[in-house]
A and B are shown apart, each in its own frame.
Chain A
Amino acid sequence: MPDGATQPAIDAPQEPVLKQIGFWQRFRKNGPAVTALVVMVLLFVIGMGYWALHGLGVNWPADPLEPNPPAQLIAPCWQHPLGTDDLGRDVMSRVLLGAHVSLMIGFVAVGIAIVIGIILGSISGYFGGWVDMVIMRFVDMMMCIPTFFLILTVAALLQPSIWIVALIIGVTSWMGTARLVRAEFLSLREMDYVQAARATGAGHARIIFRHVLPNALPPVFVTAVLGVAGAILTEASLSYLGFGVQPPDPSWGNIISGGKQYILDAWWLIVFPSVAIFITTLSFYVAGEGMRVAMDPKETKQI
Chain B
Amino acid sequence: MVGAAIDRAEPEALTPMWTFIIRRLLISIPLLIGITIISFLIINLAPGGQVALPGMEMNPGLNPKVREMIAKQFHFDRSLPVQYVLMMKDMVTGDLTSFKDQRSAIGKVLERLPATLALSVMAFLISTGGSLPLGIYASRHKGRWRDKVISVASFAMLSLPSFWVAYMLVLLIVRVLHIPALGLSTFGVDFQNGFREAVDVSWHVFMPAVVLALGGIAGESRYMRASMVEAMNEDYIRTARAKGLSESAVAYKHALRNSLRPIVTFVGYLLPAFLGGAVIIEQIFGYPGMGRLMYQALLERDMPVLMVELTIGSALLLVGNMIADVLYAVVDPRVRPN
Contacts and interface: CB of A to CB of B under 8 A. Distances in A.
Interface of A: 2, 6, 30-32, 137-138, 140-141, 143-150, 152-154, 156-159, 229, 233, 236-237, 240-241, 243, 253, 256, 260, 263-264, 270, 274, 277-278, 281-282, 285-286, 289, 293, 298-301, 303
A274 B161 contact: yes
B42 interface: yes
A286 B280 CA distance: 25
B159 A149 contact: no
Contacts of A274: 160-161, 164
B255 to A, nearest CB: 10
B161 A233 contact: yes
Interface stretch (B45-53, B64-72, B185-193): B45-53
Contacts of A281: 158-159
B239 to A, nearest CB: 14
A141 B162 CA distance: 27
Contact of B229 (A32, A154, A233, A298): A298
Contact of A145 (B158, B163, B310): B310
Given A146-B313, A153-B42, A141 B34 contact: yes
Interface residue SS majority, chain A: helix
A153 B275 contact: no
B294 interface: yes
B119 interface: no
Given A147-B272, A277-B161, A241 B35 contact: no
B314 A144 contact: yes
Contacts of B294: 149, 152
Contacts of A137: 30-31, 34
B161 A299 contact: no
B159 A237 contact: no
Given A146-B272, A153-B39, 12 more contacts: A137-B31, A144-B314, A145-B314, A146-B317, A147-B276, A153-B310, A243-B298, A289-B155, A298-B229, A298-B230, A301-B233, A303-B232
A149 B313 contact: yes
B142 interface: yes
B184 interface: no
B321 interface: yes
A240 B166 CA distance: 13
Nearest to B310: A149
Given A32-B152, A144-B317, A146-B272, A152 B160 contact: no
B301 interface: yes
Interface size class of B (residues with CB under 8 A): 35 or more
Contacts of B31: 137, 140-141, 144
A303 B35 CA distance: 46
B156 interface: yes
Nearest to B38: A145
Contacts of A301: 233
B164 A270 contact: yes
A31 to B, nearest CB: 7
Contacts of A140: 31
Contact of A154 (B46, B143, B152, B171): B46
Contacts of A241: 279-280, 283, 295, 298
A243 B167 CA distance: 19
A301 to B, nearest CB: 7
B43 interface: yes
A118 B280 CA distance: 32
Contacts of A31: 148
Name which of B30, B160, B164, B309 has the most chain A CB atoms within 10 A of its CB.
B164
B318 interface: yes
A149 B275 contact: yes
A145 B301 contact: no
Contact of B35 (A6, A145, A256, A285): A145
Nearest to A297: B233
B235 interface: yes
Given A153-B306, A241-B295, A145 B313 contact: yes
B265 interface: no
Contacts of B152: 32, 282, 286
B42 A154 contact: yes
A256 B164 contact: yes
Nearest to B251: A303
A149 B48 contact: no
Contacts of A158: 46-48
Nearest to B233: A298
A148 B275 contact: yes
Interface in B225-262: 229-230, 232-233, 235
A263 B279 contact: no
B222 to A, nearest CB: 8
Contacts of A298: 229-230, 233
Contacts of A289: 151, 155, 222
A274 B42 CA distance: 32
B148 A32 contact: yes
A32 B147 CA distance: 11
A32 B314 contact: no
Given A141-B35, A144-B318, A282-B155, A152 B279 contact: yes
A278 B276 contact: no
